[in-house]
Amino acid sequence: MAFLAWEDKYSVGVKAMDNQHMAMIGMLNELYDAMMSGQALAITGPLLQKLVDYTNTHFSAEEALMQSSRFPGFAEHHVRHEKLVEQVRDYIARFEHDDLFLPIQLMHFLRDWLSTHIQKEDKEYGPWLREHGVA
């Protein structure tokens, strides 16, 4: 059973972004599965690195689409992305200092951030991008 399952309510109507959001939800579910099987500490380090790498790729792609279509909310959205990157860096620092509660905190943080960010903030750019030829 998935910790967070993809639902249509998460779709921003831009296929590439929806696919990337699905991948991020998949990473969250990887952590959940590891926790349920007692392997959370073994997978947290590699998952954090995978998350950092994928987040950078996703944010770059998302921001490139926003910039090319001149999305008026780009600057604010970019700041939100920077804030998440800072939070992930904090999780990495905590992991490096053997924070035993990190996996469950990370799991809940990701779930809350993904569901809120996608449903509220990313939904803002979906109609704009579609109106400007991105689907």
**CATH number of the domain within which 127 lies:** 1.20.120.50
Is residue 87 situated within a structural domain?
Answer: yes
Domain that holds residue 100: 13-131
Q: What is the pLDDT of residue 77?
A: 94
Average pLDDT of the residues in 102-114: 83
Which ranges of 1-135 would DSSP assign to H, the alpha helix?
Answer: 15-36, 40-68, 74-96, 102-116, 123-131
Is residue 5 situated within a structural domain?
Answer: no
- Give the confidence band of 28 by pLDDT, cuts at 50, 70, 90: confident
Least confident of 4-8, 47-51, 107-111: 47-51
- Give the confidence band of 55 by pLDDT, cuts at 50, 70, 90: confident
DSSP 135: -
pTM score, two decimals?
0.87
Is residue 57 situated within a structural domain?
Answer: yes
Which of 53, 52, 124 has the alpha carbon at shortest distance from 87? 52
Is residue 18 situated within a structural domain?
Answer: yes
Cα 65 to the chain's mean position, in Å? 17
Number of domains in the chain: 1
Q: What is the pLDDT of residue 78?
A: 96
- Residue matched to tokens 């998302």: 62
Cα 106 to the chain's mean position, in Å? 12
Is residue 105 situated within a structural domain?
Answer: yes
